[in-house]
Structure 1
């Protein structure tokens, strides 16, 4: 950026404008970032209600449909298996439709992050394949393992989507939200375990792969609790820990699972429990997990709201303080800039007055022979002690030095002139005496030759007196009255 030829006012404005623009940009950036963080926290609770809860409802519906599908594939001859499956499929469709509605809701969709939008799209794409899967199930064109894995994939997508909804700026709340989803996901491990064992009981046979899968699911459920429970707040840890320690349902489930896995023999495992005893052990825990998850989610939302309000308050305070600081900076910069311009303008005005008015006037008056008072023509000006004042003092000193030099030069010229005038007047006196003497001699002499010489000498003396008068005039003095010259 070039400012050559620009006024000092523009240069000062440009100099002050750069930090002000930078400060404004930083203030605006900080305000936007903080405000966006607060809005994300406020939106998180709303998104969990409008998108997270429908996703959880879809998980429950898919879990029930998966269980009934495996029962149908295990024994297609059951008369009530298909009607029950159709009823559960309609519930699944209703739950998926709620997710589609959330995806179509511009307000909800606008509050999601890019990851959440992508995960929701993946859920809906997977849900589009349910009709094809269901036809294959009814036509016995798919194995139980394939159907089981398809439903598992759909549920996994739902939980991945739910985890992405808890991506909030607050690190602790983000970790707690993801840990809570993992805790809720432990219910899915039990649901898969339930579907595998019930389908095995229905088919009256169990493979070693099914038994190993149940063992892995039990280990996965335990691992999910052990990893994620410490991440939750102490109050939440106490709720889940008390349930596992004091409630009879988890203990009964552990006993049932112990019987099934006691020998890791499929034939023994299928005979360990009948469907009634298994459901009596598994269903209460499934229901309790569901209840605990919903209650923990509600408490998480209640923890988010105060944090969001606090962040919003801090954002407001920071924005106001930043605005005040910006205004103060503008005012201070304006005053400083105006002060600089005023001081520089004064210096320019004083310098121009000295160069254009005072010094030329002093020189004219000195040339006219006037007496000059230095204190009057170049008074001592009062400037501040800062750098600008020092420049002003230097200019004032320079002005006084110039006037004093001019006065001294004039005095020197006047002294020289007086010397010349004095010499000229002395010469005039001598010449006047010489003329008087010549006149007397001319009157006394009678010799013609001598008289001619005296006349020539008189003429030369008269010319010398006129030259002396010219010297007096050139020295600046008034010419005195002269006597009549005598010349032949």
Structure 2
């Protein structure tokens, strides 16, 4: 067995041996490094947790107590301030206020001294440090509050709110300072802050009631504020007491169930029950001061003792965390040593087995599977047993891995083979369905031709032409399935066809053909082998342009020669495409990716891409100057030929006749909504064609010439052969010559001598002229005209000045065969020349030179 990397056996063995050793070393180093990293990480995490616990204890010892003292001093000063504002004339209230302010200044100064130390601030995290700064900034506003109180410029409610705003940052700092990772300790710490907040609610209630009793009156708002503080206090106690240890929780419960707690609650109920008017009379200030003061002092003492017990619980927890970190570190290091020893022992045995397994896997992944994929992509048959034979391995784990790899290899090959068979089957199904649809559509078109020749009613003829147009579009969609399946369309052309006819044929296969304007193209002919693909490609682009643009706008088709061939441009006036969508569409057009069944909304792009790659035609999309999208089709010069001068003159004469017809009445309509067909040249001479210009037989939806023209377009396009051109682009005017039967303007008719007259309308009586001919004369005239068309087509094919267009070759076999005689079947796709298709379906507005 050859080495996978292509070297000789000895060098490969040395290389493989070194490679496996490196892998064994990596096998040892990876878990060693990982385990060491985990050990170090665990040590750092546990050490950081312990350090944070110790820091929390230190910070609480340094800042917790000063902050609590500041809160207590601010609460006392707030009470004295509200009492002073309630009765400024009392000298004892002013003295108490000065004493309270002095105590507050001492507490704030102590707090600033502790908070200003760099050591303490360095132990704080970012969030607690920010909250400490906010607390100190709030305390800076204390002097402004005092000044307003001294000047009697503040109301009681304003002073009450100002002191509340000074106390709230203290509780916020204490809450953010709890950085313990232990969930239980963290919850207990937050519960302590909650108890301090509950005591603050009681202090606010005390300040409001003391001021009200001093003033001798209470408002409804003040009583409501007292009631709210009572409710908030009860809720806070009920929430946080459940978190505390049982010992601390029982102390608080004993207080509230004891004499002091019951007295406080009874007083609150009595005050709130008496209402704003009766509260002052039912209770006096001295009684309330004793009741609230006793409760506040007892709760403050309990909070301090609970906090001290919490700190004592934190310190042992930090020590236990450090112990756990040491144990984890030692055990992790021991695990690393054991892992190294075990890996070294079993590593040597793995080298041999892994080397063999590597060779097998390398050959399967680098040689067998890619080869199978390439052969399946090329359409070859692959034998699974030959490409993925069953191999025998040992019964150990490595042997099981080898067996699994062998099974995986066989499964991959089998799946690839099944996938290739499925794709081949799906493609064949698409092709068969499309071929059958094409056969049925061809038969339907043949039947429509026969019905069109038999009918004489303009309305029915218009409906038949509309059905004929729908059938032609259905045939294009069926051919799209053949192209997407990777097969080649069955229809072929041997001789070149003018480029203008190819574009007009593409226009005739579009639903909104009336909106398409085709400007005159250079006298170039398309090679017969590329006619079908180029027609389908242009039809897809025109369909896309009409669908994605407003129905009242036109789609312009123009082109010019370029050094590498011919550039055909299709402009629409839609909303355009975003740059990303435009880039994606151009990539699909240029790269020609494999068709996937999930991309059913992009069938047109795949069809255009496939056709462009097959004929070396480049298609690109770019923004249109009209705001929509422009499709540029670059036809290579190898597919184009110059039209001979004789054929060019014949084509030019026919196009001039077309221009005259469209200028006659470009927007006239039949009763069915189809455009009126301009009259075509009367083919033949002498008695073969119509005897001479005859008066038109007026029908319900148009002139008799219109009906004749539609029949003539049908006859000319029946066998997929070119419509003959008149020898001159001027009408003869002689009754027996090959004159040009032109489309008449509305409201005109021909006199028996061939001259035109404007019909004189009698507006007074509202009557118009009626054609006096009967149905037998019209049927005879149309039959004679059709016979002349057939004779003219046969003469045009045999004459040296023909266009050189022959009937398509249909390799499907379902169309009956090929040939240019009058009995040949209709081609699968190309139904007559583009001029005839334009006459049948009004294929847009074909612009001439002007």
TM-score by length of 1: 0.64
Q: 2:271 aligns with which of 231, 239, 260?
A: 260
Alignment of 1:251 with 2:235, yes or no, is no
Deviation, 1:164, is 2.3
Return the alpha-carbon distance in structure 1 between the equivalents of residues 170 and 67 of structure 2: 6
Which deviates more, 111-120 or 140-149? 111-120
Q: 1:293 aligns with which of 295, 303, 310?
A: 303
Deviation, 1:236, is 1.6
Q: Which residue is 2:334 aligned to?
A: 324
Q: Which residue is 1:281 aligned to?
A: 291
Return the alpha-carbon distance in structure 1 between the equivalents of residues 110 and 344 of structure 2: 59
Which deviates more, 317-326 or 169-178? 317-326
Return the alpha-carbon distance in structure 1 between the equivalents of residues 274 and 93 of structure 2: 31
Q: Which residue is 1:152 aligned to?
A: 164
Alignment of 1:314 with 2:319, yes or no, is no
Deviation, 1:43, is 2.4
Deviations 1:301-360 (A, max 9, x none): 222222222222111111121123234445555677799999x9xxxxxxxxxxxxxxxx
Q: Which residue is 1:137 aligned to?
A: 149
Deviation, 1:12, is 4.8
Which deviates more, 284-293 or 220-229? 220-229
Return the alpha-carbon distance in structure 2 between the equivalents of residues 339 and 105 of structure 1: 64
Q: Which residue is 2:576 aligned to?
A: none
Return the alpha-carbon distance in structure 1 between the equivalents of residues 138 and 317 of structure 2: 36
Return the alpha-carbon distance in structure 2 between the equivalents of residues 4 and 73 of structure 1: 94
Deviations 1:43-84 (A, max 9, x none): 222222211111111100100111111122222222343343
Deviations 1:245-274 (A, max 9, x none): 1x211122122212211132x221112222
Contact 1:109–1:117, Cα closer than 8 Å, also in 2 = yes
Return the alpha-carbon distance in structure 1 between the equivalents of residues 198 and 49 of structure 2: 31
Shift of the 255–340 alpha-carbon distance from structure 1 to 2, 3 Å rule, reads closer
Alignment of 1:211 with 2:220, yes or no, is no
Shift of the 68–4 alpha-carbon distance from structure 1 to 2, 3 Å rule, reads farther
Return the alpha-carbon distance in structure 2 between the equivalents of residues 35 and 92 of structure 1: 39
SS of residue paired to 2:242: helix
Q: 1:52 aligns with which of 64, 86, 107?
A: 64
Deviation, 1:118, is 2.2
Deviation, 1:184, is 2.5
Alignment of 1:79 with 2:91, yes or no, is yes
Contact 2:67–2:170, Cα closer than 8 Å, also in 1 = yes
Task: State the structure with more CA Rg.
Answer: 1
Q: 1:228 aligns with which of 240, 263, 268?
A: 240
Shift of the 104–4 alpha-carbon distance from structure 1 to 2, 3 Å rule, reads farther
Deviation, 1:193, is 0.9
Return the alpha-carbon distance in structure 2 between the equivalents of residues 102 and 4 of structure 1: 69
Return the alpha-carbon distance in structure 1 between the equivalents of residues 81 and 27 of structure 2: 76
Shift of the 106–322 alpha-carbon distance from structure 1 to 2, 3 Å rule, reads farther
Q: 1:111 aligns with which of 118, 123, 129?
A: 123
Q: Which residue is 1:269 aligned to?
A: 279
Deviations 1:93-133 (A, max 9, x none): 22222322332223322333333222212111111111111
Contact 2:35–2:332, Cα closer than 8 Å, also in 1 = no
Which deviates more, 296-305 or 158-167? 158-167
Return the alpha-carbon distance in structure 2 between the equivalents of residues 334 and 137 of structure 1: 83
Q: Which residue is 1:65 aligned to?
A: 77
SS of residue paired to 1:300: helix
Contact 2:53–2:179, Cα closer than 8 Å, also in 1 = no
Question: RMSD of the alignment, in Å?
Answer: 2.9
Return the alpha-carbon distance in structure 1 between the equivalents of residues 29 and 205 of structure 2: 69
Return the alpha-carbon distance in structure 2 between the equivalents of residues 331 and 105 of structure 1: 53
Contact 1:102–1:109, Cα closer than 8 Å, also in 2 = no
Q: Whose helix fraction is larger, Structure 1's or Structure 2's?
A: 1
Q: Which residue is 1:24 aligned to?
A: 36
Contact 2:84–2:93, Cα closer than 8 Å, also in 1 = yes
Return the alpha-carbon distance in structure 2 between the equivalents of residues 7 and 227 of structure 1: 65
Deviations 1:425-475 (A, max 9, x none): xxxxxxxxxxxxxxxxxxxxxxxxxxxxxxxxxxxxxxxxxxxxxxxxxxx
Contact 2:82–2:156, Cα closer than 8 Å, also in 1 = yes
Deviation, 1:9, is 6.1
Contact 2:198–2:237, Cα closer than 8 Å, also in 1 = yes
Contact 1:200–1:270, Cα closer than 8 Å, also in 2 = yes
Shift of the 69–4 alpha-carbon distance from structure 1 to 2, 3 Å rule, reads farther
Return the alpha-carbon distance in structure 2 between the equivalents of residues 263 and 84 of structure 1: 29
Return the alpha-carbon distance in structure 1 between the equivalents of residues 33 and 61 of structure 2: 42
**Greater RCO, CA 8 A, separation 6+:** 1
Q: Whose strand fraction is larger, Structure 1's or Structure 2's?
A: 2
Which deviates more, 319-328 or 285-294? 319-328
Return the alpha-carbon distance in structure 1 between the equivalents of residues 252 and 78 of structure 2: 27
